[in-house]
């Protein structure tokens, strides 16, 4: 389904759309619904009470208004849309309502509708317009690129949604951000035989050239020559060679600061010789979701043009098994010069990220945000809806956390307990890539490992839980969620 959003100054009668959407919350018509002309307001209120429609969140009731004789006579149907109880309502309620609404309109078969901007009087026109538009655009996402036939699919349908009294700039920004999130979703959903490291690099370069970003792609020879031994060690077992992707955005006026974004780019992860069970490999095409989030954020940055210089770094590779693959007990030399003893080849992401973080530091980043589907331990701790936030600098950590809260993405701070560093010390090398057979504190020790490769303010977001879902969720279908894009956009002030 392709969704087009339009702003409209009036509501119901003046908009030539067959369907008008009216919010219901707290068991009553919304403030916008209360402003309707007496005829419509009374009819909707009467029907709602007669049918005991309470307006639980996402609940809908379709009501015929009149028989239209022409397209100019206003809507023929009203859709009462439940916003739930007044207590605890938030902008996330509006965002989720937008997603649920477009799905319901498409299910009913309408191709055009007008809706009030839910809860605009409570949260402000601009904020409510942005949340509603973003939710609608995210909720309309679908992934069926490789389906050759689907009789029940609505792939070819287009839906035009008029947002009454919406703030134009807010809707425009929402379209740019949602498009960036959906771009990241597309990358995560691609099968791994298509989205190899080289293909990920090609798409990143294509996007950069389209939007005027600086771009540099290193092949396997350049990666080795640069001294990225930890990254290359992970990549060396695959027939698909690695790529190191670098994108740069510079504002037209002097930048207020320089921020680096680092994303884990494992386009497929078998676990290497520490082989994952078959069931655990099913979702491993999503092990590059951190990279997808960074590329999506750069797409939004290029269009929204903040006053911050933004540099993106992705070490793209596959973790495979072959005669050239790295082994348990190997010792790798990282770009930083630190040596790493391998205790588990399935703890590969932190090795690729170590070199990417070192490089970002050396290139002059003032602060770094890194996103990765890094540990199952974080999923055990926080579940599938919440990302773990680890920071070596409290102020930078709060800044990222507050950006996530504004974006509506759930993160939770976890400690970088320095006493646990002892578990990463090796008798053979400078560090071990895991803390051995113990399963305790796995997400923390992974974060501590990354922290050994920069002295700059670093936030590590472990997005292993929310980056991918095997069932539909509030803002879209199963598959890649694009988690992290909206947080980065908020963080960069665009």
Catalytic residue among 35, 125, 202, 276: 276
Give the phi and the psi of residue 212 in degrees, each rounded to 5: 80, 30
Tokens of 465: 């839980």
Query: Cα(108)–Cα(15) distance, rounded to whole angstroms?
Result: 19
Residue among 388, 371, 406 nearest 494 (CA)? 406
CB 111 within 8 A of CB 158: yes
Query: Cα(149)–Cα(152) distance, rounded to whole angstroms?
Result: 9
Give the distance from CA 159 to its chain's centroid: 24
Query: Cα(315)–Cα(360) distance, rounded to whole angstroms?
Result: 11
Sheet harboring 367-372: ordered strands across?
214-218, 243-249, 309-319, 258-269, 367-372, 458-462, 387-391, 411-413
Catalytic residue among 96, 243, 299, 350: 350
Query: Cα(70)–Cα(12) distance, rounded to whole angstroms?
Result: 15
Burial of 250 (0-12, 13-18, 19+ CB in 10 A): middle
Is 350 in the active site?
yes
DSSP string, 149-173: --TT--TT-EEEEEEET--HHHHHH
DSSP 9: S
What residues act catalytically?
A: 276, 350
């Amino acid at each position: 389904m392709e969704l087009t959003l339009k702003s409209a100054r009036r509501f119901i009668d003046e908009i030539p759309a067959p369907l008008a959407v009216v919010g219901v919350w707290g068991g009553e018509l919304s403030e916008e619904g209360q402003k309707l002309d007496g005829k419509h307001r009374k009819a909707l209120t009467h029907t709602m009470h007669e049918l005991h429609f309470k307006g639980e969140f996402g609940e809908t009731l379709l009501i015929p208004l009149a028989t239209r004789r022409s397209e100019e006579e206003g809507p023929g149907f009203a859709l009462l849309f439940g916003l739930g109880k007044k207590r605890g309502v938030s902008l996330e309620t509006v965002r989720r309502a937008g997603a649920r609404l477009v799905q319901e309109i498409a299910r009913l078969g309408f191709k055009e509708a007008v809706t009030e901007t839910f809860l605009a009087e409570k949260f402000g026109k601009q904020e409510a317009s942005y949340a509603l538009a973003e939710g609608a655009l995210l909720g309309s996402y679908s992934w069926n690129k490789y389906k050759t036939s689907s009789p029940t699919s609505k792939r070819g349908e287009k839906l035009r949604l008029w947002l009454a009294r919406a703030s134009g700039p807010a809707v425009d920004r929402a379209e740019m951000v949602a498009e960036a999130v959906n771009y990241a979703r597309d990358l995560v959903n691609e099968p791994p035989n298509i989205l190899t490291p080289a293909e990920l690099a090609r798409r990143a370069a294509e996007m950069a050239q389209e939007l005027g970003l600086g771009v540099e792609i290193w092949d396997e020879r350049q990666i080795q020559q640069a001294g990225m031994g930890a990254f290359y060690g992970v990549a060396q077992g695959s027939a698909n060679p690695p790529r190191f992707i670098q994108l740069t955005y510079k504002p037209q006026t002097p930048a207020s600061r320089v921020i680096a974004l680092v994303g884990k780019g494992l386009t497929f992860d078998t676990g290497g010789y520490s082989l994952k069970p078959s069931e655990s490999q099913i979702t491993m095409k999503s092990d590059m979701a951190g990279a997808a989030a960074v590329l999506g954020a750069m797409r939004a940055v290029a269009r929204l043009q903040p006053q911050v210089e933004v540099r993106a770094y992705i070490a793209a590779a596959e973790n495979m098994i072959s005669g050239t693959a790295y082994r348990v007990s190997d010792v790798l030399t990282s770009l930083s010069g630190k040596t790493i003893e391998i205790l588990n080849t399935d703890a590969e992401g932190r090795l690729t990220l170590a070199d990417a973080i070192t490089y970002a530091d050396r290139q002059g980043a003032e602060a770094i945000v890194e996103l990765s589907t890094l540990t199952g331990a974080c999923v055990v701790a926080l579940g599938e809806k919440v990302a773990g936030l680890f920071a070596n600098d409290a102020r930078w950590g709060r800044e990222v956390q507050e950006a996530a809260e504004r974006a509506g993405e759930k993160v939770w701070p976890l400690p970088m307990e320095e006493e646990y560093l002892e578990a990463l010390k090796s008798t053979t090398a400078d560090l071990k890539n895991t803390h051995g057979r113990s399963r305790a504190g796995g997400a923390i020790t992974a974060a501590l490992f990354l922290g050994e490769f920069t002295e700059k303010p670093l936030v590590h977001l472990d997005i292993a839980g929310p980056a991918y879902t095997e069932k539909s969720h509030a803002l879209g279908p199963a598959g890649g969620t694009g988690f992290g894009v909206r947080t980065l956009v908020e963080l960069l002030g665009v």
